[in-house]
Chain A
Amino acid sequence: MDVEILARIQFAFTISFHYIYPPLSIGLGLVMVAMEGMYLKTGNKLYEDMARFYTKIFALIFGIGVATGIVMEFEFGTNWATYSKYVGDVFGSALAAEGIFAFALESGFLGVLLFGWNRVSSKVHFFATVMVTLGSMFSAIWIVVANSWQQTPAGYHIVGSGLEARAEITDFWAMVFNPSSIQRVCHVWIGAFLAGSFLVLSISAWYLIKNKHITFARSSFKIALVIATISGLAQLFAGHKSAEVVAKYQPAKLAALEGHFDSLAVADMYIAGYIDTKNQKTVGLRIPKGLTFLTHNDFTTPIRGLKSFKPEDRPSALNIVFQSYHLMIAVGMLMILLTLYACWLWYKGKLFEKRWLMMVFVWAVLLPQIGNQVGWYAAETGRQPWVVYGLLRTSDALSKAVTANQVLFSLILFMLVYTLLFALFIYLLNKKITHGPYSKGDIDHSPQHKIMAEEIGTL
């Protein structure tokens, strides 16, 4: 395999793995803010127990998120040196702002959040929780702004040509508020809220099935259900707004997302289907003129299809783009249905009576994860063959000095490390959940292992 495909696989792999964690941190942070806020307001100890319990889960998630997050920043330099030189002037300021305004905020206050329970007052602790959550949300802003700039570049001009060409910033705010940033930041935030709230729903539902910690679980379930329901509905709107931006600024991507080939025609919208790349046709279940209507609010305006773009300017992995996009939408709809149904049962006073529903919620934790992952696959593969839309091709963005073997070596290294990491994560998460919120000191420091008190050292 050549360097390009290996480097792309490596970036996709490391960022996909990383992206399991930050949305969980943001979403869980928000749920914890709600819990601690309730505690401050009502003084009910139950809410404090919740916040303390979920803080432990949060610590685990945040730890892996940090550990896997620095990798991408380094990869820009190691694998994508040409890209780094090209975008550094523009993109760098967003990345630097992320470090200084967001990452520093969350990591600084994380210490207080995790270890400060007995050291600071509950109000100061609440403040720290809010700061960590805000910090992680700010992180999302800057990272998504940088990515959005790659999708819809603005506020820059190109200096030099050929190998020396690079983008230079001309207007900072135009770069920050490029045409797609606001919509995409909201879309990503809400995806994160869903990830966090569905985790809490899943854990609570599991306790209810096991008949453990009933009061605790019911109460947490309700808090998370409120957040999940609102987020699910809001996502419908935010997702639509994101798609509108794609339609306006990235027509080739829209055509790929929707599997629309005809150069200029009124477009149907596929609910599910398959792209026959050979015959340049899409087959599947569709709503006639649906895409045209959603994009232009009428049934007559035509939409540019893939055939109207030069072959080298079309995304190559059409089915990945199409399927990821449709899977994302399907998963989103499923979450909305599920939460609305649960709310209706709640209203009827029968929320916790259906065991099968609780079982569904235990597994539903996977839905937002799937949605977040495939949503990004659609966004990123749909942008191809460009790394910066319309300006820099992915194949031109590589490091000149790096060989395929080096990339392969590091890719294998990351795969091994991340597999181990993921196994440990699941093991420890499961353990913490099994331990539950009330077992005294869930970390067992001086148990039957007498040796603990004695010499364990070797040096």
Chain B
Amino acid sequence: MFLGIDYATWWFMIIGAVFTGYAILDGFDLGAGALHLFFNKEASRRIALNAIGPVWDGNEVWLVIGGGALFAGFPKVYASVFSAFYIPFMLFLTVLIFRAISIEFRSKEPMLWWRKMWDYAYCFSSATIAILLGIVLGNMLLGIPIDQDGNFTGDLFYFLNPYAIMVGVTTLALFMMHGAIYLVMKTENRLYTKLTIMVRNTTIFFSICILLLSFYTLLYIPHLTNTIRHHTWMFLIPVAMVFSIANITRSVAKHRFIYAFVSSSITVSLLLIIVAIELYPNMVLSTLSPAYNLTVQNASSSEKSLTIMLIVAAIGVPLVVAYTSFVFWTFKGKVKLDETSY
């Protein structure tokens, strides 16, 4: 116990925070990638690519940390979820590889076909990553058929169900909005003007998606509304989320893009907080029997292990935040292309 909360719950919150950090950081560069083919000029594409150039790799690290933390904190959840979603995770890895190399290789040759090829690879892999992340999240929300040993018993394409796909599309929309706002901050002139329109369109796209998703959840998936229904004060969280979405449009209209970016980051966080609140204390819901659920308590590592990792996190996270801020600060302001650029 620490501050009246047990270690497993602390670790649940830390992993949640790391994945939230990942969604905010990699979210904008995945979103920028998903928008890539909407830029028509070579110069625009290069600027968009170089806007994320120095930071995308650092952003992706949060996924590695999140995966490691889940492995360490909740090995049973890790084992169960990763082997259950075999196909989506393998596809995820493949597109992750393609995305990394398309960023890296695009500018290495001048031929038009070469650049177009990597543009397509970059855009589609970014979009696919966003959708797959959403699909896995959607399935986690619904619950998956796992038996008493945590082994998955569903079929190969179980993961493709309407709700999961809706969550996937919503994730894509969220990241596109988030990425467009980031790009607006990094660009000038005509591209900037174009992006302000894209921010508006993607915000509308996201609002529609989240509205539909919320209706669907409220109507058909009662177990995802229990906690908030029983704790009325928690209704403030969705209220805050709606306000933060509204604030994006407001800030964009006033050309205060930093506020817009902060608002969309808050939106990401609040969405994931709602997810965490509704799942807790479960981490993986079994559709076969509630007795098979993997919970924060029954799936966690030993207290000793969790304590060690809390210390690791307490030392490590501030360091990471410090030098990540340094890197972002170094590359602040509008993108200027030079001979080191992609």
Does B220 touch A at the CB level, under 8 Å? Answer: no
**Residue of A whose beta carbon sits closest to that of B79:** A81
Q: Is the beta-carbon distance between A100 and B331 smaller than 8 angstroms?
A: no
Min CB distance A154 to B, Å, is: 15
Q: Is the CB of B79 within 8 A of A84?
A: yes
Contact present for A120 and B76 (CB under 8 Å): no
Contacts A105-B323, A456-B115 given; indicate if A96 touches B309 (C-beta within 8 A): yes
A172 contact set on B, CB distance < 8 A: 308
Asked if residues A73 and B308 are in contact (CB atoms below 8 Å), the reply is no
CB of A406 within 8 A of CB of B87, answer yes
Contact of B78 among A88, A98, A453 (CB under 8 A): A88
- Closest A residue, CB atoms, query B57: A107
* Contact partners of A60 in chain B: CB under 8 A: 104
Tell me the bound Cα distance from A86 to B76 in angstroms: 9
Asked if A424 is an interface residue, CB under 8 A from chain B, the answer is yes
A169–B75 alpha-carbon span in the complex (Å): 13
User: Which residues in A have some Cβ–Cβ distance to B below 8 Å?
Assistant: 59-60, 63-64, 66-71, 73-74, 76-79, 81-82, 84-93, 95-101, 103-105, 107-112, 114-120, 131, 159, 163, 166, 168-170, 172, 399-402, 406, 409-410, 413-414, 417, 421, 424, 428, 431, 440-441, 443-445, 447, 449, 451-459
Given A99-B64, A449-B110, check contact A456 B101 (CB 8 Å).
no
Cα-based distance from A149 to B254 in the complex (angstroms): 57
Known: A169-B308, A401-B84, A424-B105. A108 touches B97 (CB 8 A): no
CA A96 – CA B73 in complex, angstroms? Answer: 9
Q: How far is the CB of B238 from chain A (nearest CB, A)?
A: 32
Contacting residues, chain B, for A401 (C-beta < 8 A) = 83-84, 86, 151-153
Residue of A93, A97, A98, A119 ringed by the most chain B CB atoms within 10 A = A93
- Give the residues in chain B near A406, CB-CB below 8 Å: 86-87, 156
Interchain CB contact under 8 A, B112 and A96: no
With known contacts A81-B80, A168-B304, A402-B86, A70–B63 Cβ distance under 8 A = yes
List, in ascending order, chain A residues with CB within 8 A of B68's CB. 73, 92, 95-96, 98-100
Cβ-Cβ contact count across A and B, 8 Å cutoff: 281
Q: Are A67 and B331 in contact (CB under 8 A)?
A: no
Given known A92-B305, A100-B317, contact A458–B37 (CB-CB < 8 A): yes
Of all chain B residues, the one with the shortest Cβ separation from A451 is: B112
- Measured CB to CB, the nearest residue on chain B to A424 is B105
CA distance A237 to B339 in the complex (A): 44
User: Which 7 residue pairs of A and B lie closest in terms of their CB atoms, listed nearest first?
Assistant: A88-B75, A92-B72, A77-B82, A111-B54, A457-B40, A100-B316, A81-B79
Contact B94 A417 (CB under 8 A): yes
CA distance A401 to B339 in the complex (A): 50
Main secondary structure of the interface of B (DSSP, over half): helix
For B66, give the chain A residue with the smallest CB separation.
Answer: A99
Residues of A contacting B302 with CB < 8 Å?
89, 159, 168-169
Cβ distance B85 to chain A, nearest Cβ, rounded Å: 8
The answer to whether B94 and A77 have CB atoms under 8 Å apart is: no
Q: Which residues of B contact A111 (CB under 8 A)?
A: 53-55, 57-58, 327, 330-331
Chain B residues positioned under 8 Å from A459 (CB to CB): 37-38, 40
Residues in B neighbouring A105, C-beta threshold 8 A: 319-320, 323
Q: Can you give 22 A-B contacts (C-beta < 8 A)?
A: A60-B104, A67-B101, A74-B93, A78-B83, A81-B79, A81-B83, A95-B68, A96-B72, A100-B313, A104-B320, A104-B324, A108-B58, A114-B54, A115-B331, A401-B153, A402-B83, A406-B87, A421-B101, A445-B107, A451-B112, A453-B41, A456-B41
| Shortest CB distance A433–B (Å) | 13
Chain B interfacial positions (CB closer than 8 Å to A): 37-43, 45-46, 50, 53-55, 57-58, 60-61, 63-65, 67-69, 71-76, 78-84, 86-87, 89-90, 92-94, 96-98, 100-101, 103-105, 107-112, 115-116, 149-153, 156, 301-302, 304-305, 308-309, 312-313, 316-317, 319-320, 323-324, 326-327, 330-331, 338-342
**Complex Cα gap A454–B82 (Å):** 45
Tell me the complex Cα distance, A231–B167, Å.
Answer: 52
| Residue from B80, B87, B90 having most chain A Cβ neighbours under 10 A | B90
On whether A77 and B54 interact (CB within 8 A), knowing A63-B101, A401-B153, the answer reads no
Q: Is the CB of A456 within 8 A of B331?
A: no
Quick check: A445 and B100 within 8 Å, CB to CB? no
Given contacts A78-B90, A115-B341, A119-B330, contact A424 B39 (CB under 8 A): no
* Cβ contacts under 8 Å, A77 to chain B: 67, 71, 78-79, 81-83, 89
**Would you call A457 and B86 a contact (CB within 8 A)?**
no
Check if B110 sits within 8 Å of A82, measured CB to CB: no
What is the CB-to-nearest-CB distance from B94 to chain A, in angstroms, rounded to a whole number? Answer: 6
A78-B86 in contact given A115-B53, A455-B40 (Cβ < 8 Å): yes
**Complex: how many Å from CA A114 to CA B342?**
10
In angstroms, Cα B148 to Cα A360, docked, is 60
CA distance in complex: A180, B43 (Å): 53
Contact present for A109 and B53 (CB under 8 Å): no
A67 and B100 form a contact (CB under 8 A): yes
Give A458 to B309 CA distance when docked, in angstroms.
49
**Which chain B residues border A89 with CB–CB below 8 Å?**
72, 75, 301-302, 305
Bound-state CA distance A430–B253 (Å) is: 49
Give bound CA distance, A454 to B326, whole Å: 36
Residues of the B chain whose Cβ atoms lie less than 8 Å from the Cβ of A409: 87, 90
